[in-house]
Amino acid sequence: MIVVCVGLAIYKNKTLGLTFYPILGFLVTAFCVDLTAYYLAANRINNMPLLHGYTIVEYILLAWYFRIVLSGMVPRKIIQGVSFVFVGLAVANSIFLQDIFRYNTYSRTLEGLLVIWWCLSVYYKILKEMKIQRLQDAPVFWIVTGHFFYFSGALLLFVLSNSILYQNKTLYVYAWKLHAVINFLHYSFIAIGIWKATEN
């Protein structure tokens, strides 16, 4: 699904405007991290340090996207400031609180909450400006809704991930299969959003 999204994004990059770079960056990073994580797991190497780094990069790319989408409503300095604070907390968490070989539940949960907040801000902006006539044709609606569904659905998993792992590994695998379903929904919405951008 990510490959489809990347292909679509590159195919008609001009119609995505300024949001092309954060979207492409987000997709390419996700693709590379997924491949590397799969390779490490296949070779029985703990891939959690990768997730610690990915959480930071993913948030920066998403914040870049939301900074563009929310321009005119949320000052860019606020989004940048929040990003700096988040990166600081995530790094501190990886160094002092949660071992890099364990799931970074704190950073991931905080990231989820922040992204949900930005998504709600975008909805508010759309309602306030009323520039979009047909939501179903607006790329921003699909992409933001994809992020909103993913981070809302997976938030509980981010919180409980370590606890489940120590309870039962089979349940842990089932939980992450559930996550894969939500992630599929996530990238499907992004793909529709990019596709809609090509139609405009």
Partner 1 sequence: MESNRELDIFLVLFVGMAGFLLLAGAVVLFFMFYQKRMLRQQLKLSEMESKHQEQLVISNLRQVEAERQRIAKDLHDEVGGIFSTLRMKISSIKPEQFSSDIQETQRVIDSGINSVRRISHDLMPPGLELFGLAASLEDLCEKNNADGLLQVVYGGPDTLNCPANMIRDLAIYRIVQELLNNTIKHAQASEVGVYLNESPKHISLTYKDNGIGFDSEKLDKIRGLGLANLQSRANQLGAQLEWTHPPKGVCVHLTVPII
- Helices then strands (H, E): number in the chain? 7, 0
- Count of chain residues binding partner 1 (CB under 8 A): 27
Instruction: Single out the residue of 152, 141, 87, 143 nearest to residue 117, CA to CA.
Output: 152
Of the two residues 87 and 182, which places its CB atom closer to partner 1 in the complex? 182
Least distance to partner 1, CB of residue 109, Å: 12
Give 25 or 153: the residue with its C-beta nearer to partner 1.
Answer: 153
What is the spatial distance between Cα 127 and Cα 23, in angstroms, rounded to a whole number?
A: 23
In the numeric block, the tokens 């959480």 are attached to 55
Q: How far apart are CA 166 and CA 129, in angstroms?
A: 48
Our CB check for partner 1 shows the closer of 45 and 135 to be 135
Q: Which is nearer to partner 1, 52 or 125 (CB)?
A: 125
Q: Is residue 176 near partner 1 by the rule CB under 8 A?
A: no
| Phi, psi for residue 197 in degrees, rounded to 5 | -65, -35
Residue 84 Cβ, how far from partner 1 at the closest point, in Å? Answer: 28
We find the least distance from the C-beta atom of residue 143 to partner 1, in angstroms, to be 13
- Minimum CB separation of residue 153 from partner 1 in Å reads 4
Phi-psi region of 41 (alpha: psi -120 to 50; beta: other; left: phi over 0): alpha
Tokens encoding 66: 């939301």
Q: x/- site string to partner 1, residues 103 to 132, per CB under 8 A?
A: -----------------x--x--xx--x-x
Q: Name the residue nearer to partner 1 (CB basis): 123 or 195.
A: 123
The verdict on 69 binding partner 1 (CB under 8 A) reads no
| Shortest Å, Cβ 160 to partner 1 | 6
* Residue of 157, 190, 191, 194 interacting with partner 1 (CB under 8 A): 157
Question: Residues 49-79, buried b or exposed e (16+ Cβ, 10 A)?
Answer: bbbbbbbbebbbbbbbbbbbbbeeebeeeeb
